[in-house]
Structure 1
Amino acid sequence: MRPIIRMFFFVLRRLLMPFMWLYAALSKPKPISRETAAQALVDDACRQLTLYQFNTCPFCIKVKKEVHRLALPITMANIQKDAEARDKLVRHGGKSQVPCLHIVHEGGEEQWLYESGDITRYLQQRFAA
């Protein structure tokens, strides 16, 4: 039964993929603008962030829209195309759920933040003007 359910969602995702790409492209918000010095600080802080995602996930699209709106140069890791990224997500984060924001704190401590709402809240609190 489980393989049938997985196949159903695989086919459904393939059918909806063009529409999800179109929605993601057309619904991008206008990015905020910062002064050059402030943007440089944000760029530096974003080097410690990686967003694990895949392109047709609606929750990932929600987070990527917020990343775009906040003008954040966060590294994106597509777990559908990058097996190494998927393995790292499962090995260190504990599950293959996306979106997941990997945060490396100042002392080297790692945090794996799941759930699109939690990720957008974190990004807004840390980077909103």
Structure 2
Amino acid sequence: MAFIRWFLGKIILTLNFLTPPKGIKRSPEAQAQVDKQTRLLALYQFHACPFCVKVRRAMKRFSLDIELRDAKNNDTFRQELLENGGRVKVPCLRITNDDGSVSWMYESNDIIRYLEQRFVSE
């Protein structure tokens, strides 16, 4: 089973590399504003997870520079995800709100919908 998971992960990563999505074109000022807002976000992910690849592709389509945190190979990020998010499940978007509070969003479709509503539907 581990071999199958490894093999499928390699196929997903190869296809992702060969077919990169095109990003949204914004004015330099608009992109700078988006970049400022994305500094408050972090995506906890596993590199070869198909749902994480799905979210990363959406981030590229939306031209979002969100910090990626590898919860599989980095024990610190894995522990943060467990202690603050409640479980080690990826993808998980860490959102620092305007008031300084932090919320954690799981599920790739929910994350993509949130990013689209916040950064594309402006």
Q: State whether structure 2 residue 82 is matched by structure 1 residue 75.
A: no
Give the distance between the partners of 2:9 and 2:106, measured in 1 at CA. Answer: 23
TM-score scaled by length of structure 2: 0.94
**Unaligned residue ranges in structure 1 (runs of 5+):** 1-7
Q: State whether structure 2 residue 65 is matched by structure 1 residue 108.
A: no
Structure 2 residue aligned with 1:37: 29
Corresponding residue to 2:78 among 63, 76, 86: 86
Identity, % of aligned positions: 40
TM-score scaled by length of structure 1: 0.89
1:5-35, Cα deviation, whole Å (9 max, x unpaired): xxx3x33222223212102212321011100
Structure 1 residue aligned with 2:4: 12
Corresponding residue to 1:52 among 44, 55, 68: 44
Aligned residues: 121
Report if aligned partners of 2:9, 2:49 keep a CA contact under 8 Å in 1.
Answer: no
Moved over 3 A (4+): none
